[in-house]
Structure 1
Amino acid sequence: MFVAWTLTVAASDLRHRRVANASIVAGLIAAFACAFTARMPFGIAPAQAALGALLGLAALLPFFALHVMGAADVKVFAVLGAWCGPHALLDLWIAASILAGLHALALLLATRTRLATLVRSGEATFELRGHRATPYVTCLGIPALGMLALRQLGGA
């Protein structure tokens, strides 16, 4: 379920730069259902799932308030906190931020946009093929899936 949910929200973000609230709710319900039935891919207990969700929400909410991050990014990070636990959030955030930075650099190169032009224009984002901004949900999903793969390979 975790893999299917993560791929679904990542694909939606990548393609449309939107994640439906129904997908967020479904992921949260699935995370807690797995926690209560001891079928979590990351071995997270219900209390850890709740703490992870709250910390995930609290960690990125200020960025949403400052208009530098979308609501879906914040909500997905909270759901990932429920799935992966609070201990995984910092690693996910760092890895996702590195991926987002690489994506922004690739966009700069692909659009041949000079960084100085962005700074002078006052615009926070730039566009490529009608898509604005970096698909941060996708950037969050990639390391989350990587963490699961490492867990499965390591037998932990």
Structure 2
Amino acid sequence: MNVFVGILLFIAWAAVVAISDCRWRRISNSVVVAGLAAALCCAFFQCGPFDISPAQAGIGALVGLVALLPFFALGVMGAADVKVFAVLGAWCGMHALPGLWMAASLAAGVHALWLLITTRTRIAGLVRQSGATLELAGKASTPYAACLTVAASAWLVVHGMAGGVR
């Protein structure tokens, strides 16, 4: 296997996650497990797009899981977001996680601000004039896992341009 296969697997997985999160605000466990398996296989066969060893992939997955787990426990983040971040740790390594977290959080903040403006929420008092603002069932909430995978895909492009992709 060569690195091109790893790039295709990563982009395909990231696209499925982003589309699922944006469209249904749900990411099935099978998509998460498939992404983790692909990341670990790419690391094992040294064909991953981010040149991660199996040990780095395992540590990255663990760090990704532990880093966002408190947010899930506090009820401010979905379980799928945490699991996707762990899988991104397996794909990209733990060294990439802080940057991905910051980029995704900035994108999510812009999305939330856009929702506040477009739903005519008065920001000063956070009082709604009509309808729910950041609701989940109505899909107005921010698709954080999509923000994470878009940030990781952008990092892949930057990483590739810098000569990091073999």
TM norm. shorter chain > 0.5 = yes
1:76 maps to 2:76:
no
TM score, norm. by length of structure 2: 0.87
Helix, strand or coil at the partner of 2:151: helix
Q: For 1:97-112, what aligned pairs fall within 5 Å after superposition?
A: 97-112=105-120
Supply the distance in 2 between the matched residues of 1:53 and 1:2 (Cα, whole angstroms).
15
**CA-atom RMSD in angstroms:** 1.9
TM score, norm. by length of structure 1: 0.93
Q: For 1:4-153, what aligned pairs fall within 5 Å after superposition?
A: 4-118=12-126, 126-127=134-135, 130-153=138-161
Helix, strand or coil at the partner of 1:42: coil
Counterpart contact for 1:92–1:144, Cα < 8 Å: yes
Identity of aligned residues (%): 61
Where in structure 2 are there 5+ consecutive unaligned residues? 1-8
Q: Which residue of 1 aligns with 2:6?
A: none
Q: How many residues of Structure 1 are paired with residues of Structure 2 in the alignment?
A: 153
Counterpart contact for 1:44–1:83, Cα < 8 Å: yes
Code of the aligned partner of 1:107: L
Deviation at 1:118, TM superposition (A): 3.2
The answer to which structure has the higher helix fraction is 1
Where in structure 1 are there 5+ consecutive unaligned residues? none
